[in-house]
Structure 1
Amino acid sequence: MGDLKYLNRFFWTYRLRMALGIVFICISNYFQVLQPQVIREALDLVIDYVNAYGVYDGFGVQGEFFGILSHTLMLFAGLVLLLALIMGFFLYLTRQTIIVMSRLIEYDLREVIFQHYEDLSLEFYKRNNTGDLMNRITEDVNKVRMYLGPAVMYMANLVSTIIFVIVSMLAVSPTLTLYTLIPLPVLAISIYYVSNIIHTRSTLIQQQLSRLTSIAQEVFSGIRVVKSYVRERQQIRYFAGQSDVYKNMSVDLAKVDAWFFPLMIFMVGAATILTVYVGGLQVVAGEISAGNIAEFVIYVNMLTWPVTAIGWIASIVQQASASQKRINEFLSTEPTVIDPDPDYRGDIRGSIVFEDVTFVYPDTGIKAIDGLSFTLKPGEKLAIIGRTGSGKTTIADLLLRMYDITSGRILVDGKDVSKIGLANLRRRIGYVPQDVFLFSDTIRANIAFGADHDPDEAEIEQFAKYAAVYKDIEGLTLGFDTLVGERGVTLSGGQKQRVSIARALIKRPDIVILDDALSAVDTNTEQQILGYFNEALQDKTAIIITHRIYGHLKFDKIIVLEDGHVAEVGTHEELLANGGYYSEIVERQLAEEVDEQ
């Protein structure tokens, strides 16, 4: 139960519902326990009337006895039915409180997990599979809900039923009660043993289910690669193999579960036999009546489901414990990037300073940035150029505080970036990443996603024009209402890039970062976009990360990165004069443009 302690806060939140549910269970079981007592009275009355009926054999009063007996039995039957209706009504109220409570907690728990997922840093997502994350917020939460609702309800039902039944049995005959309950300790020991097995196997099953979800998610996301390499059969065999592992583990768990019910039935049957045998001896001795035996047999059968439910409840609790343990592993993971002021909102002028910044990726140990220093004044334009793996994208990640630097300082408007409100910092930066991601929604919704307000149609269209994607969208059958599919699969690479640019610009940011964002567009489209940049970004600080030179955009400073440190820095003219890597890129690009002409 240690892993399930986390859920106590939710029980406290809905304590009134749970308390009412337990009260309703107790009331329901109280009326249920009265039924055997009514039946005992009816049976004893019948026996008395039968004996009296024999005494008056041959007398006319026998007919009156029979009529009185029939009327009395009808009253007893009506009383039993009334008790059953009352019991059912309170059982209905029980489900309306405890089961509804479990659904509310399930909702709250998913909200907590989802919010925590969003708060976690980028490195967390690099260490964990998407399928595993999804499985913990769906399948694991479902397992936990079974503990929150059905397990709690049936446990309360079990405890209250046993208390009411045993008290009623002791009031009749302590000796008969003792014999009736002899099988229960054996049952408890068996349940404890089997529950441990269930707990261990449930944990392994949930881990395997996460693995299956991850495999399916990766194959579906990379279906183009799978098909282009004709690896469908291979993936099917691999998935089938992992499914067999899951199936075998589930079957083994089912075999363990299968011991519960036969064991319960056997113990209950043994208790019934003992009740009839010992009870019969006591009737002969005149210690109890024949109706008491019937009463005890009903009590034993009344305990059948609650006692049987012990195994089911134990199984649910063990599986919920295994699932909650997996959930707790993520909930106990703290974000490495902390927001110092979540509520602050304000503009940023755009001054950026990197002071001897070094960064080592925590998950791989790779040093991406090594002693990097540069300064940008508000409104200046910076181009960052370098070979693949030189650390260009890392600069954007550090400026956005996707990671915290290993050493050095990053200043924005003269203030350490770690002291600036994280949400406000990212809100004031328009970032177009190298790996463009679009949501499976309409083009309109993807562009509007970048705004911190609800943009109207005209505003969305205007920024689509700034990103030179308006004509492409108009050419689509549904225009801005076109669904782009998962990760924008229905759009071309260039269209996805331009929609992403429109999404960044509609934020009206103070700082703009483009990470190789024009690599998939043609020269004419590039000129349109850069023309808007020259006009609209005059007073904005801009960082352009690229592999090529943009002749239509004037940069105040150009940095050439090599292995995470500055190899060259200066203006376009200064770097050309140096004859280094930058001049090689310019010459190669000019040659390619000549060849294209």
Structure 2
Amino acid sequence: MELSAPLAVPAGPRSSWAALRRLGPYLRPVRLPVGAAAAATLGALLCGLAVPLVTQRIVDGPLSTGDAGAAVRPILLVAALGAAEAALFYARRKLIARPTALVESRMRADLLAHLLRLPVAFHDRWPSGQLLSRAVGDLVVLRKFLAFAALFLVVNSVTVLVGLGVLFLIDPWLALVGLAGAAPLLLVSYFYETRYKVAARATQDEGGHLATLVEETMLGIRVVRAYGQGRGRLAVFRAQAERLRTAELRVVRIMAALSTALLVLPELGIAGQLGLGAVGVANSTLSLGDLVAAVTVSTYLRWPTECIGWALAETSTAAAACDRYWEVRDTPPGLTDPARPRPPVRPARGHLRLEHVEFRYPGAGRPVLRDVSLELRPGETVALVGATGSGKTTLAALVPRLADVTAGRVTVDGVDVRELRLADLRAVVGCAFDDPLLSSLTVRENVTLGAPEATDDAVWEALRVAGAADFVAALGPDGLAVRVGEQGMSLSGGQRQRIALARAIVGRPALLVLDDPLSALDLHTEAEVERALRRVLRRSTALVVAHRPNTARMADRVVLLEDGRITARGTHRELLAASAAYRALMAVDPRPAGETHDDGVVVR
């Protein structure tokens, strides 16, 4: 476990406004409620903007004439405008909440669906914490942007334009003075927005790194404690948290400078209006009501103006989040269904052929597999044996099409696997890997992952075949309903592997791909599962990646893979006799079974 190197994520483009424009397909279905929310917001702001005009009438009318009775109706109108403003803001919240939450959920579902289609190599390259931060944190940012910042950016811009129009109607000179104070905000906002955009992206990336670090530490907590690396891991966490804090403080400093400008410049404009207006009132070229109305409108426009600056900053954050989202979504899926899929053979026989197969990882200098040809007849079990790095797991992954060959072809029942729908292929092929990963679900849900329609009787039968029925029954009155904990860590390694084996066979697939299915079993359990496997293998075709003599001995034939090529074929006994490389891998004496060493040890 890495304790010092900083976590990396593939670099993507800096945030761009184009990424936000790509939200169009998600917004079109909810455009009516979003438009209604925008209209309600604009109506509320215009109600507030009308109050200074009513105030002008009160000052120049009842207040100047001393007619208190004439002020009642304008005052009631102000109260009505205030009530309408509050009601319209309430309507905005009600109208905007559901559609933006719907956009968020659809984007999250589409992201997960895309992640499930991406090749395994992509997931090997991308830290899971970065993917998690995009699926959760970044989409929350986008939802809040759509519900608040985007709405107010548009509505407040309209409000400011209308407010300026009102100011010009009241007095053009006062409007120009107010505009002179507000105009520099455009330059200031652009200056800080470009810096905020970069800082916001850096903060989101650092947050993803920290999420990855926490996840890896929690998942590897046993290793961390076993090696006494708690302090070292904490030091790495503190260093990463400090990088995140530095990035966040940079965002705060930029926002503080922007907020200061947004507060000071409009105030200078209002001060200029008061000075010019005072001269006008003194010279009787401007009424007191006009001055009060102009200053009140300018004061009212302070919040929309400040809000525009805040919304621009939030837009930068949303653009960065959107870029991070599309970085993943734009990755082309490695494996897709063919445009014109062929129907699978019914009933499936499990006849597997590999014809001159080559496989090369993207960017690799040499292929992992070279000119591999192999046939598994229906009902036959073939063990695949080889040293670490010889290509065994890669070859096994080609059968359920977890990866595609770069040359040659793989067929099941005579049909190229690339011509079958993935769902049809994987209904025929059952898999159990050497890393028996389980989800934090019930035993039943883990076993029926690939066969959700399986009955409880079928699940128990699969568990019995895998040698797992007894310990599952001991978990509780209804062992199938017991949750196994995150990654199945509440179970032993052997128990996890037996549940993974049950998962592979519960759907009674015609073809089994088993990657060292006995690796995590003790000798007693291995013997039990071996006996059960023999029953299963009699009714299925099976390709078994083997590391133990007992596993290879179960096979009808054994294939030796060396440096990506098949170098020997035969039964377990034949290869023991003929291949020194095979004997070295199996660590078995070449003499026939039952022959006794000088020290009395019997070779099986």
Q: TM-score, normalised by structure 2?
A: 0.90
Q: Which residue of 2 aligns with 1:401?
A: 401
Shift of 1:134: 0.7
Query: Helix, strand or coil for the counterpart of 2:491?
Result: coil
User: Is 1:417 aligned to 2:417, yes or no?
Assistant: yes
CA deviations 1:7-59 (Å, max 9, x no partner) are 12222221112221222223223322221111111111233324xxxxxxxxx
Shift of 1:317: 0.8
Q: Which amino acid in 1 is paired with 2:29?
A: T
Change (3 A) 1:594 1:273: same
Q: Which residue of 1 aligns with 2:429?
A: 429
1:127–1:363 contact (8 Å) kept in structure 2: no
1:251 to 246, 249, 252: 249
User: Is 1:4 aligned to 2:20, yes or no?
Assistant: yes
Q: Which residue of 1 aligns with 2:486?
A: 486
Shift of 1:85: 0.7
Larger mean Cα displacement after TM superposition, 280-289 or 399-408? 280-289
2:466–2:529 contact (8 Å) kept in structure 1: yes
Query: Helix, strand or coil for the counterpart of 1:338?
Result: coil
Distance 1:205 1:364 in 2: 33
Shift of 1:595: 7.3
Change (3 A) 1:73 1:469: same
1:544-563 matched pairs, under 5 angstroms: 544-550=544-550, 554-563=554-563
Shift of 1:501: 0.8
Shift of 1:230: 0.4
Query: Helix, strand or coil for the counterpart of 1:451?
Result: coil
Change (3 A) 1:329 1:165: same
1:534–1:553 contact (8 Å) kept in structure 2: no
- Paired residues in the alignment total 578
Q: Which amino acid in 1 is paired with 2:569?
A: V
Change (3 A) 1:342 1:288: farther
1:121–1:403 contact (8 Å) kept in structure 2: yes
Distance 1:397 1:114 in 2: 22
Q: Which residue of 2 aligns with 1:390?
A: 390
CA deviations 1:316-355 (Å, max 9, x no partner) are 0111111211211111100122221698775432111111
Distance 1:342 1:475 in 2: 48
Shift of 1:123: 0.8
1:527–1:552 contact (8 Å) kept in structure 2: no
Query: Helix, strand or coil for the counterpart of 2:475?
Result: coil
Q: Which residue of 2 aligns with 1:32?
A: 48
Shift of 1:588: 4.6
Q: Tell which structure's C-alpha radius of gyration is larger.
A: 1
Query: Helix, strand or coil for the counterpart of 1:167?
Result: helix
Larger mean Cα displacement after TM superposition, 578-587 or 24-33? 578-587
Q: TM-score, normalised by structure 1?
A: 0.91
Query: Helix, strand or coil for the counterpart of 1:303?
Result: helix
Q: Which residue of 2 aligns with 1:310?
A: 308
2:342–2:419 contact (8 Å) kept in structure 1: no
Q: Which residue of 2 aligns with 1:170?
A: 168
Structure 2, unaligned runs of 5 or more: 1-16
Shift of 1:396: 1.1
User: Is 1:191 aligned to 2:192, yes or no?
Assistant: no
Q: Which amino acid in 1 is paired with 2:578?
A: N
1:40–1:295 contact (8 Å) kept in structure 2: yes
Q: Which residue of 1 aligns with 2:500?
A: 500
Distance 1:164 1:560 in 2: 80
Q: Which residue of 2 aligns with 1:224?
A: 222
Distance 1:367 1:551 in 2: 28
Distance 1:71 1:441 in 2: 73
Shift of 1:580: 3.5
Distance 1:552 1:208 in 2: 48
Shift of 1:433: 0.4
Query: Helix, strand or coil for the counterpart of 1:14?
Result: helix
Change (3 A) 1:213 1:552: closer
The two structures, once aligned, show a CA RMSD in angstroms of: 2.4
Distance 1:342 1:299 in 2: 65
Query: Helix, strand or coil for the counterpart of 2:244?
Result: helix
Shift of 1:524: 4.4
Structure 1, unaligned runs of 5 or more: 51-68
Shift of 1:457: 2.8
Q: Which residue of 2 aligns with 1:468?
A: 467
Q: Which residue of 2 aligns with 1:457?
A: 456
1:340 to 338, 357, 361: 338
Shift of 1:499: 0.6
Q: Which residue of 2 aligns with 1:207?
A: 205
Q: Which residue of 2 aligns with 1:61?
A: none
Q: Which residue of 1 aligns with 2:4?
A: none
Query: Helix, strand or coil for the counterpart of 1:367?
Result: coil
2:350–2:428 contact (8 Å) kept in structure 1: no
Q: Which amino acid in 1 is paired with 2:125?
A: R
Distance 1:414 1:552 in 2: 26
CA deviations 1:491-546 (Å, max 9, x no partner) are 11111110111111112211111110112224443344343444344342111111
* Percent identity for Structure 1 against Structure 2: 28
Shift of 1:223: 1.0
Q: Which residue of 2 aligns with 1:60?
A: none
Query: Helix, strand or coil for the counterpart of 2:508?
Result: coil
CA deviations 1:200-222 (Å, max 9, x no partner) are 11111212111111111111111
Q: Which residue of 2 aligns with 1:587?
A: 588
Query: Helix, strand or coil for the counterpart of 2:22?
Result: helix
Query: Helix, strand or coil for the counterpart of 2:323?
Result: helix
Distance 2:372 2:566 in 1: 7
Shift of 1:96: 2.1
Query: Helix, strand or coil for the counterpart of 1:258?
Result: helix
2:465–2:532 contact (8 Å) kept in structure 1: yes
Shift of 1:556: 3.2
Q: Which residue of 2 aligns with 1:526?
A: 526
Larger mean Cα displacement after TM superposition, 33-42 or 442-451? 442-451
Distance 2:398 2:383 in 1: 16
1:21–1:95 contact (8 Å) kept in structure 2: yes
Q: Which amino acid in 2 is paired with 1:10?
A: Y
Q: Which residue of 1 aligns with 2:38?
A: 22
Query: Helix, strand or coil for the counterpart of 1:181?
Result: helix
Query: Helix, strand or coil for the counterpart of 2:318?
Result: helix
Query: Helix, strand or coil for the counterpart of 1:566?
Result: strand
